[in-house]
């Protein structure tokens, strides 16, 4: 019986690629007619490069797929999304954005946006423009026109513009332009002259 010798190395029958191309347009891979192993590998290389976003197909990716946040992590409730804002908790007792909280910790983003949209739609905001007929001296109380009343405080519910310039309300610690004396009165810390215009934006 004749014995045939082979020159193939059984452990390495297919040689590695001496050259490669990882810039193939992967959308044409299925319709590629001149099929061969080298081209198939180049399509795979190009796909790996596209998936990792790296310069070369063999470059280590910056992040593993296991590091990508799941759906809850990317678009979940405010209970976990606060980490993106740097806040310790959504129910911060000393917020710098507002003292009014419409959104709860366990609200989804869809629910939270809906609540904020509803709050904006139903917000009761009034505007009054007043031309002073007499001077208002520093330290004297002045009644807000239009029979408006609001929760007197630190300016969170009312803004006052003096000839178009926004004034700063006293915080109770630092003296600024005016103090909200009562629900319908303010006291200025400077003399407001006759014929000046005061514009009040009141949120009730």
Model confidence at 111, pLDDT cuts 50, 70, 90, reads confident
In this prediction, residue 72 carries a pLDDT of: 55
Residue 27 has pLDDT above 60, yes or no: yes
Residue 113 has pLDDT above 70, yes or no: yes
Look up tokens 């390495």; give the residue. 12
In this prediction, residue 136 carries a pLDDT of: 94
How far is C-alpha 1 from the chain's CA centre? Answer: 80
CA dist 194 and 137 (Å) reads 10
Residue 75 has pLDDT above 60, yes or no: no
Model confidence at 100, pLDDT cuts 50, 70, 90, reads low
Residue 70 has pLDDT above 70, yes or no: no
In this prediction, residue 169 carries a pLDDT of: 86
Model confidence at 37, pLDDT cuts 50, 70, 90, reads confident
* ∠ CA 64-69-46, rounded to 5°: 40
Give me the mean pLDDT over the 112-123 stretch.
Answer: 77
pLDDT digits (tens, 9 = 90+) for 132-176: 999 999 999 999 888 776 666 667 788 899 999 999 888 666 778
Sign of CA dihedral 86, 92, 95, 99: positive
In this prediction, residue 172 carries a pLDDT of: 65
CA dist 112 and 115 (Å) reads 5
């Amino acid at each position: 019986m004749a014995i045939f010798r082979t020159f193939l190395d059984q452990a390495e029958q297919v040689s590695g690629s001496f050259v490669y191309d990882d810039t193939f347009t992967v959308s044409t891979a299925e319709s590629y007619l001149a099929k061969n192993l080298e081209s198939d590998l180049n399509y795979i290389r190009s796909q790996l490069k596209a998936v990792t976003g790296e310069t070369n197909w063999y470059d280590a990716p910056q992040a593993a797929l296991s590091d990508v946040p799941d759906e809850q992590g990317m678009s979940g409730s405010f209970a976990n999304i606060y980490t993106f804002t740097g806040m310790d908790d959504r129910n911060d007792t000393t917020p710098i954005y507002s003292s009014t909280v419409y959104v709860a910790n366990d609200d989804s983003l869809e629910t939270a946006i809906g609540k904020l949209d509803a709050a904006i739609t139903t917000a009761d905001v009034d505007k009054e423009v007043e031309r002073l007929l007499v001077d208002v001296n520093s330290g004297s109380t002045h009644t807000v026109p239009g029979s408006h009343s609001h929760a007197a405080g630190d300016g969170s519910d009312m803004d006052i513009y003096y000839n178009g310039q926004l004034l700063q309300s006293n915080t109770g610690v630092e003296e600024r332009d005016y103090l909200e004396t009562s629900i319908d009165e303010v006291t200025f810390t400077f003399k407001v002259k006759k014929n000046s215009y005061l514009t009040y934006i009141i949120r009730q």
